[in-house]
Structure 1
Amino acid sequence: MREFLSAFDALPDGAFRAEWQGSPYVAVKSSHAAGKSEKLVAHEAGGTGYISLNIYRLSDGRVLLKPCEMPEDRVRRFVLEAKVGEP
């Protein structure tokens, strides 16, 4: 989880472009509840690819990753492998 969180935290806040598995994506990373909840949504530009996840940082130090209706492995690979470009 540590490598995933480091990669997630390195993603820019707000809208950005990324490339993943040879396809361009437009993504938005947002923070809610004073940073205790974060969301990432990415749409494949000109395609059907879609990534959506929520991260909850609990007061006891635990972190919960909640993919939105897709396998956890898919969202983990996107965060770890996507190459971020200019907005």
Structure 2
Amino acid sequence: MPAPTPVSDLLARLPLGWSEVRYRGRRWSVTRSVQVGGRSQKVLAHELGGTGLVSANVYVPDDGVERFRPCEMPAEEVVAFLEGWVPVAAPSAGGMTGGAAADVT
């Protein structure tokens, strides 16, 4: 069995700032921030239109050992989210999603 991916590597897949992603078929709002020259990272995700929440911090102090701190939830839940989210496709230039333009006459 391969070694698990460090949480900091999973976090690095998320763009900095706010994003919209899909996880388990639902839309989520997720914010990733980095402080202290990259030694502290935070993720906060909310299920849009639902009650889901994912929140965690990762610290890498001077000893270089990653410290993963989920916020009031099981670590497995945070890791599952970080491993399973997918980006939401940006809307087309006309603001429509899908292939056909709407008839607005």
Greater fraction of residues in strand = 1
Aligned residues: 87
User: How far, CA to CA, are the matches of 1:43 and 1:86 in structure 2?
Assistant: 18
Give the number of the structure with larger relative contact order, counting CA–CA contacts within 8 Å between residues 6 or more apart.
Answer: 1
Deviation at 1:5, TM superposition (A): 3.2
Contact 2:11 2:43 in 1 (8 A): no
Equivalent residue letter for 2:19: F
Name stretches of at least 5 consecutive residues in structure 1 with no aligned partner. none
Percent identity over the alignment? 31
Match of 1:38 in 2: 41
TM-score, with normalisation over the residues of structure 2? 0.75
RMSD: 1.6
Greater fraction of residues in helix = 1
Contact 1:17 1:86 in 2 (8 A): no
Q: 2:56 aligns with which of 31, 45, 53?
A: 53
User: Secondary structure in 1 aligned to 2:78?
Assistant: helix
Equivalent residue letter for 2:12: D
Contact 1:14 1:28 in 2 (8 A): yes
Name stretches of at least 5 consecutive residues in structure 2 with no aligned partner. 91-105
User: How far, CA to CA, are the matches of 2:12 and 2:72 in structure 1?
Assistant: 22
